Chains A and B, each alone.
Chain A
Amino acid sequence: MRSDRSQSAPLGIKIAAAVGLAFLHLPILLIFVYAFTTEEKSYQWPPPGLTTQWFAATWARPDVWQALGLSVQVAAISTAIALVLGTLCAAAVSQTRFFGREAISLLVILPIALPGIITGIALRSAFSLAEIPFSFWTIVLGHATFCVVVVYNNAVARFRRTSGSLIEASMDLGADGFQTFRHVILPNIGTALLAGGMLAFALSFDEVIVTTFTAGQQQTLPIWMLEELVRPRQRPVTNVVAMVVVLATLLPILAAYYLTREGDQIAGAGK
């Protein structure tokens, strides 16, 4: 064992790291407390009392359910599109060498490398130039564009670890291209795709910047929250929704982590 492994950290570093991690987590935990507060009109701390009535109140709100439904539908369809496009692109880039290969990886990354507002306004002005009215599909169009990169990153990392000779062996043993894809390639990249898909879903489910430009009058859950943030009307309901959103994004992230932790690159390392 190398000596530097057994050393323990200087106290200063320990404290700074602990404070940093606390800074990252305490604000999110605070949401959980506020979901139970009896205070309706302000963000008063400490909460004057605790209650669970806001959960029932939120449950009975049709607008929250509608926004949630739209978000889930958009995220599901965008993820499906991103899975197909991202996997195709990753397969092409990692399995072959061709002119312009670098440019293609740049093209895939660009939608999240540039600030979201640029993607959003570009799409919006393109819709208005082409006279496309806002609809469910304009939201999906925007979301799928930036979800491709998450699937792509995960799939590329896995393809790099999958040996090409496996595919050749399958072909040598008489399988055709589709059989090889079904029985050799898919089982190999399956968990990477699942992880990428879950991250894409989480990314789309949470997206607000691009969505404000492509949604028109429709409300996804993040847009509903944004309205409440700008003009607070239903503070207790917002608290409960925020808490549910935290819990709902927690699970896919943990699942994606456990699916890919054996790998050389862990899902989501570059959001």
Chain B
Amino acid sequence: MSVQAVSGASDVAAAILPRRGGFAGALSDLLWRKPGLLLFLMLAPPLLWLGVVYIGSLIALLAQSFFSIDEFSGLISRELTLKTYGDLFQPANLDIIVRTVTMAALVTLASAVVAFPIAYYAARYARGKWKALFYLGVMLPLWSSYLVKVYAWKLILAKEGILTWVFAKLHLSWLLDGWLSLPVVGGNSLSVSFTGTFIVFVYVWLPFMILPIQAALERVPGNLVEASSDLGASPGQTFRNVLFPLALPGIVAGSIFTFSLTLGDYIIPQIIGTSRLFIGQAVYAQQGTAGNIPLAAAFTVVPIVIMGFYLWGAKRMGAFNAL
């Protein structure tokens, strides 16, 4: 309904119809005659809540990144300064940022590779009952408890857990041990290595990648693929030149989630991973034990800026239409 279109006619209606009695009737008439007032009344509560509680807190947080901490007293001085941002670019902190962004990029790539066949099958071949099954098959893990999922992987990746057992049964223990002895990706067991962190990230964010790719692929007409093969393209060529470009906005849309969620997570690397920090953990440690709210605030600016650029690029690629 367009309120503006009707508002002109309401003057006429008011002249013909009798006024309604009672307070509720009068209120109802008033709102009908003044759609602006109705709109205001509808928007005021959500805007007050989100605008004041949420945006207010965000601005307060960002403002604090321009404060600094006194290194001797540990007190926070409320003078505007860029000193905290100077601290942010110390080598140790830069390491954390680079590590997190690399992990986010790898997780995004891997989820796209794992998600594509599932999305492709669901979009192009699954029909009727199978389609519903595929949909629920993605939705249930998406909505299952985040902590339970992380916990499940703690069970799987533990040294005495099922994965070690499977490798032993397949006589492939040497492969697992070989991988774990590698410098960066290895560790004492999978649950305390970057490999473990990586697997869990991919697992937890995978449904966020499947759904947009599936949505993008569903809009590709099947006869485009047929035309491509009729014209002599091999399945690989069809994929590279027809399917992939058309699915790309969906992949980019999914990558917004996988990238952003990996950037901000602090629980997965804390529970499954090495003692080297990620951005989320650094924020948590700075605001908690270290009590350095300005540096924690400055750290949160990093994902905000990265995601800002990311969203800008994604919008230019038309990814928002695939959301």
Residues of A participating in the B interface, judged by any CB pair closer than 8 Å:
2-5, 7-10, 12-14, 16-17, 20-21, 23-25, 27-28, 30-31, 34, 42-46, 81, 84-86, 88-89, 91-92, 95-98, 104, 107-108, 110-111, 113-119, 121-126, 129, 141, 144-145, 148, 164-165, 167-168, 171, 176-178, 199, 202, 206, 208-209, 222, 225-226, 229-230, 238, 242, 245-246, 249-250, 253-254, 257, 261, 266, 268-271
A13 contact set on B, CB distance < 8 A: 117, 120-121, 125
A124 touches B50 (CB 8 A): no
Contact of A23 among B203, B208, B226, B263 (CB under 8 A): B203
A27 touches B153 (CB 8 A): yes
A23 contact set on B, CB distance < 8 A: 114, 203, 206
Tell me if B29 is interfacial: C-beta within 8 Å of chain A: yes
Task: Bits for B108-131, please: 1 = Cβ < 8 Å to A, else 0.
Answer: 000000110110111011010000
Closest Cβ of chain A to B33, distance in Å, is 11
Closest 5 CB pairs of A and B: A115-B264, A164-B1, A4-B222, A16-B117, A126-B57
A-B contact pairs, 20 of them (CB 8 A): A2-B223, A4-B226, A7-B125, A13-B117, A25-B140, A25-B141, A27-B152, A43-B158, A85-B50, A92-B42, A107-B47, A108-B50, A113-B307, A114-B303, A115-B264, A123-B53, A145-B53, A168-B1, A222-B146, A242-B145
A115 contact set on B, CB distance < 8 A: 260-261, 263-265, 280, 303
Tell me if B143 is interfacial: C-beta within 8 Å of chain A: yes
Contact of A208 among B141, B164, B267 (CB under 8 A): B267
B155 touches A43 (CB 8 A): yes
A246 touches B50 (CB 8 A): no
Task: Bits for B155-171, please: 1 = Cβ < 8 Å to A, else 0.
Answer: 11010111011000000
A117 touches B32 (CB 8 A): no
B64 touches A125 (CB 8 A): yes
Contact of A96 among B3, B156, B223, B225 (CB under 8 A): B3
Tell me if B184 is interfacial: C-beta within 8 Å of chain A: no
B148 touches A242 (CB 8 A): yes
A17 touches B121 (CB 8 A): yes
B148 touches A253 (CB 8 A): no
Of B83-91, B244-252, B292-300, the one touching chain A: B292-300
Chain A residue at minimal CB-CB distance from B134: A21
Helix, strand, loop or mixed for chain B's interface?
A: helix
Chain A residue at minimal CB-CB distance from B261: A115
Complex CA gap A89/B293 in Å reads 33
B203 touches A27 (CB 8 A): yes
Complex CA gap A34/B118 in Å reads 28
A145 touches B50 (CB 8 A): yes
Contact of A117 among B125, B149, B266 (CB under 8 A): B266
B93 contact set on A, CB distance < 8 A: none
A226 contact set on B, CB distance < 8 A: 147, 267
Contact of A20 among B61, B117, B162 (CB under 8 A): B117
B265 contact set on A, CB distance < 8 A: 115, 117, 209
